[in-house]
Structures are given as structure tokens and as C-alpha cells.
Chains A and B, each alone.
Chain A
Amino acid sequence: MSKIVRHPLLWTAIVLAILPWLLPGANPFVGRAGFIDLGTTIAIFALFAMGFNLLFGHVGDLSFGHAMFFTIGAYATALLTKGFNVTVGGAKLAWAGTDSFIGSILLSLGLVAAIAFLLGRLIVPRSSGIYFSMITLAFAQVIYFITYKWDAFTGGEDGLQAISRPSLPGLPSGFLNESWHFYYFAAIVIYVALAIIWWVIESPFGSVCHAIRENDQRAEFLGYDVRKYRVNAFFISALFPAAAGCLWTYYQQSITPDAGSIEYSGRVVMMSLLGGIQTFFGPMLGSFIYWQLQNDVAQITKYWEAVIGAVFVVFVLIAPRGIWGAVEDVENYGFRSALRRVFSRRARVESEMSEEVASQAP
């Protein structure tokens, strides 16, 4: 019984169900649309960050370009819904548009799967560590410039507007235009994706990934093909940002090249670290904190990004395990010991030495 009560997926479901009410100041009877919108943003970015963190937190590869999968998913959805008419090298390509959700999510996932499959085989075996971070960043920039420059197809700098939300079978058309309805529709899709992430992390595959994160040489010596696991993890972690991008387009009903920019890639990195990279709930919590902070600070100053940057820097310096990591520390070592880990450099270094330097040694 207690196993079910403590099951993370149960808590994920509960949190997604009541998220719009969880937000400070939320009152379901007064001005709830604003909180529904914030809640939708948090939920979609939670999925995006969870997908990213599958690679960073659970395999140890820091990708600084996951926004490319997000933006590909988003543009695939936008173009499939809206239709396009473009001439590529003499050939005329045209599509009238559709309002099928299944179609757009399959296209988003399929397109990203193809790209991640090729890219994974191209860059993952050739690079690790900081090379990997810089190369993913550079490839994301290529996608960004394509969406930014290809006016005829992607709308260039202005992006694509007036994208209608999908119609669901059995429900009246325009059902999802109500932000309330859309939140719960998105929440169900996101929940399914998060359940898959949970299943991946808890599977034998996830255990090997953790072993690679802790010490890739030992994992290699134990007979695991580290390269293959890293390629596959890269592939899997690219799919969730694509689904998030698909929902993001429907939610915004427009899409601009910004979705593929370095800001978006960096955003999920920050969310994951704030929440706690080596935990299941971390990125979700991080998404909540990031958007809540943005929402509050933006009302005080237009330089809110500096505040978020400063919070992030403090976390990198003194609490790299994030908030949920600190919660787990309290659970495992007791409150005093956990506090000591935050404020005593020595205790922190000792724990990090055992966890990280070991994996770095040549």
C-alpha cells in the first residue's frame, strides 16, 4: 500500500491535476485563465526539461541544443496544421492542412526521430564531455537559422500565426479553444510521456545509463557498449522535447524561431539544475520555479533574466543537486547533515569527490 502511495507517478498525476490551483494566488473563481495559462506553460516545459534531463541527469551528457528538437516538433505541428506551399529546387510542395492531433504528434515525433537518429550516430560516438555540449549547441544553431531564414516555408523572423488547435474525435470542434480544456488535454498527453520517462529510468536500460554517468570506464569494463547506450539515450531524450514542441504550438497557436534559440536550450538546463538533475521530479519542480519566478520578477523589473541568472549561479555554486536533491538529502542524511552539505564547502567537496571526480579520472 505505502508503495503505491509513495509512487512518483501517482504524485505526478495529482500535481498535474491540481497544478493551476497550486500556483500562489490562484483562485479558481477569480481570473483563473491567467493561472491556467501559466500552468500550461509549466506543464509543457516540465516535459521538455524532463526529456532533456533524461540525457543530462541520467546519462551525464550535457546537451546545450535540445531546443532544436523542441522547435522541429513545434514547426512540424504548425506546418501540418496550417498547410504550406513552397518551391524547393524547382519542385512544388504543397499541403492543405489538417486538424488531426494524432497526425501532428506523429509527424513531430517521426521527424525528430529521423534527425536524432542521424545526429546521434554522427556526434555522440565522436564526442563526449565538453565537446558534446559545444557541438549540440552548434547544431541547434543550424536549425535555428533555417527556421529564421527560410521565409517561404517557416515564415522567417515572424514565424507562423493563427494555427488552430486540433479537433478531437467525439468532441465539438473548438472544444480545445477553452484554455481550461486545453490544459487538461495537454496534461493527459504530458502524463503519458512522463510515465514513459519513469519507465525508461527504472528499466535495466536506465540503470546502465546511471552506471555510465557515474563512471563510464567501469561500465565499459563490465561489458556494456557505452557508445550504443549513449546513442540510444540521446535518441530517446530527443523525442520528449518534440512532443512538448507539438503541444507548445497548439497552446500558443503561433510559433516563432525563438523556440529553437539558445535561450530555450539554456532554459531547460536551468530548470533541470534548479529542480535537481539526478532526481525524477527535479525538472518538473524546476519548470514550476522558473516560470513562477519569471512571472513574479517580471512584474517588478524588466531585467528579470538577470535575477534568474543570479539564482541559477548560486545554485551551481552551492547546491548543484538542486532543490529536490536537497529534499532527498534531508530524507537520507537528516536535516542537519543536509544543511551542512549546503553550507560547508568541505562536506560538499567530499561528497562530490566520491560522486564525480572518480568518473573524471583518466
Chain B
Amino acid sequence: MFLALTLHQFTDQFINGVTLGMLYILVALGLNIILGLMGVINYSHGSFFMLGAYVAYSLDPIVGFWASILLAAFCIGIFGMLFESTLIRPLYNRIPEYTLLLTFGTALIFEQVVRRIWGDDAVRFELPEKFSGTLAIGNSQFPLYKDVMLVGITIVVLAVVWFLVNRTNIGMIIRAGTRDAEMVRILGINMPMMFTLVFGIGSFMAGLAGALAAPVYAIQPTLASEWVILTFVIVIVGGIGSFWGAVVGGLSIGIVSSLMDLIWPPAVEMTGFLIMGIILLMRPRGLFGVEGLFE
């Protein structure tokens, strides 16, 4: 079966994997920042991704393509901040597992709300004519939106987030808070506000990923649970609270599962879990994880 694999198929699937991996990174990084700083396991993170896709789909006819994607991401970001300040905030003085329980409950609600508003069946977000073409590089044709724009936008967003986390005051507070939230609070930082802001950023990234994915993948109510579990896997592989962990984890799982489609299609969905199993045997805290965080 390996002989049938041509170079052309290989590059195609590899690039598919990169596109998928980019979206994984966006979603996983959002979850990872929330998890790393706040110790909140946001099971509803997949719902935010799904809502981003649906909101973009609904806004598209009104405000146009790019505006709908941006607006959807901002809507989800603000929604995430409201969500955190009303539902998550009462849980901070409990063990972190309760946040998983709460967000599991809200994910059930979000899924039914989506079914009520947009129906049970998948909807299609049509790509505008001018972006549906392909870009020729050498002998290969690359879909313009999926392989060029989507990857480009994600890299820009990742650069911005990296800059925000590593080169700004807010980022310094976030990084310090990940290590010792109590100490940071004693230094006079308004931690509840930081938490809300970080949750907003994380939700924004999930919403943006959803909106960007909307024209490429079918938008359906089961999207949330499919994505959130994979996101967990990426975070485990990369290590909780690690920027580069999410990047390496997301990209490698995206690429390997795309290539698996050529080698043995029934195992595509399991690739991420198999990678996770191997990584866990060798590094229990993930590739870039540190010991002792939230245990």
C-alpha cells in the first residue's frame, strides 16, 4: 500500500494537514491559555468554536465575508467574558474538576440551542467566488483560501498572541499568574479582571478558528464535541500552559492524521489518541509541560 503513495498525494495531504493543524493550534492555544492561567478545563471551548462558525455563517449575508469572520470572533470573545464572569467565577475556590463539570453542562445547552436555531443538519458557508480559486506554485495548485489565506491568518494571529504573552505587561502578568496566582494578587493585580480578559482572549481564538473553518468544513451541531476532545488531546500532548506545546501538538496531530488518511483511512480519528498514548508513556506531562501544575 505504500507503493501506491505518489509524491503528489503526499504533498496534498501534507498541506491539508498543515491547514488542519493551524486550526487545531488556534483552538488548543485558546484552551491552553485558559487552562494554564486559571486552571479552568473549558469543555465548552468546542462549543465556542462551533458558535464562531455558526455566527459567521449567519452574519455573512449581512456584513460580508471578512467582516463576518472578524465580528464572529469578537462576539464569541465577549460572550466568553460574560460566560466567565457569571458562571465560572463562583467556582474558583473549588477544585478545578468542578469547572469541567460546569462547562460540560453548558456544552449540552449550547448544542441544543444551536440545534434549535440552525437546525440538526449541516449548513454550508459558501466561500466568495474570488477566494475559491487556486494558487499555482511550481507544478502544484493550492486552494487559495484554505491553504494560503487560512494558514497566513493563523500565523499572524499566533505571532500576535506570542507577542502579547511574551513581550507585554499583560503577558507578564499572565505568565506570572500561571506560576502563582496568589502572589500576583498580593502584588496588587486585579486577578478577577485578568481572568475575565484571558478567558475572553481564549474564547476569541476559538471563535476565530470556528469562523475561519466555516467555509472549509461542514458546520454541524456535533462539531463541538468532536473538536473539544481533540483539543484536549493536543493540550495533553503539548503540555498544559505551554505556547510551543500547543503549536507543536496541533501541527503534528494535524499532519499525521492527514497522512494517516493515505496509509490506513479507518484509523484517522484515532491518530491523535495514539500519539497521545506514546507521548504519555515517555513524558507524562506532555512535550513542553512542567510537573506539578494543577495536580
Contact = CB atoms under 8 A, between A and B. Distances in A.
B280 A64 contact: no
B83 to A, nearest CB: 11
B276 interface: yes
A305 B294 contact: no
Given A126-B280, A133-B41, A270-B105, 11 more contacts: A62-B100, A122-B280, A129-B95, A138-B236, A149-B267, A303-B112, A312-B105, A316-B91, A316-B98, A316-B105, A362-B292
29 contacts: A122-B281, A130-B41, A130-B240, A131-B294, A134-B232, A135-B276, A137-B229, A138-B273, A139-B273, A141-B273, A142-B270, A142-B277, A145-B269, A146-B270, A149-B267, A149-B269, A262-B229, A270-B104, A303-B112, A306-B109, A309-B105, A309-B109, A312-B101, A312-B108, A313-B87, A313-B102, A316-B105, A349-B93, A356-B95
Contact of B232 (A138, A309, A312): A138
B236 A317 contact: no
Nearest to A308: B108
Interface in A311-362: 312-313, 316-317, 320, 345, 349, 352-353, 356-357, 359-360, 362
A62 B232 contact: no
Interface in A142-165: 142, 145-146, 149-150
A112 interface: no
B94 interface: yes
Contact of B112 (A128, A146, A305, A345): A305
Contact of A313 (B106, B111, B225): B106
A269 interface: yes
A134 B235 contact: yes
Given A138-B276, A310-B105, A313-B109, A129 B233 contact: no
A123 B276 CA distance: 12
A127 interface: yes
Contacts of B269: 145, 149
Contact of A64 (B100, B273, B276): B100
Interface of A: 62, 64, 122-123, 126-131, 133-135, 137-139, 141-142, 145-146, 149-150, 262, 266, 269-270, 273, 303, 305-306, 308-310, 312-313, 316-317, 320, 345, 349, 352-353, 356-357, 359-360, 362
Nearest to B232: A134
Interface of B: 35, 39, 41, 87, 90-91, 93-98, 100-102, 104-109, 111-113, 115-116, 225, 229, 232-233, 235-236, 240, 266-267, 269-270, 273-274, 276-277, 280-281, 284-285, 292, 294-295
Contacts of A317: 87, 90-91, 102
A129 B108 contact: no
Contact of A320 (B94, B116, B233, B285): B94
Contact of B104 (A134, A149, A266, A356): A266
Nearest to A142: B273
A139 B232 CA distance: 12
Contact of B98 (A142, A306, A320): A320
Contacts of A309: 105-109, 112
Contacts of B229: 137-138, 141, 262
B102 A316 contact: yes
A347 to B, nearest CB: 13
A135 B105 CA distance: 19
Given A313-B106, A320-B98, A262 B225 contact: yes
A145 B292 CA distance: 32
Contacts of A134: 41, 232-233, 235-236
A130 B36 CA distance: 11
- Point out which of B87, B96, B104, B274 has the most chain A C-beta atoms below 10 A from its C-beta: B104
Nearest to A56: B97
B100 A352 contact: no
A64 to B, nearest CB: 7
Contacts of A353: 93
Contact of B294 (A129, A139, A303, A306): A129
Nearest to B115: A303
Contacts of B276: 135, 138
A231 to B, nearest CB: 15
A133 B106 CA distance: 18
Contacts of B41: 130, 133-134
Contacts of B106: 309, 313
B78 to A, nearest CB: 20
A141 B277 CA distance: 12
Nearest to A123: B280
Q: Which 8 A-B pairs have the closest CB atoms?
A: A309-B108, A306-B112, A126-B284, A312-B105, A313-B105, A303-B112, A309-B109, A129-B295
A129 B285 CA distance: 12
A20 to B, nearest CB: 28
A256 B286 CA distance: 33
A144 B295 CA distance: 27
B113 A149 contact: no
A357 B96 CA distance: 10
Contacts of B285: 131
Nearest to B180: A362
Nearest to A62: B97
A306 B115 CA distance: 10
Given A141-B273, A303-B112, A317-B87, A130 B294 contact: yes
A131 B270 contact: no
Contacts of A122: 280-281
A135 B236 contact: yes
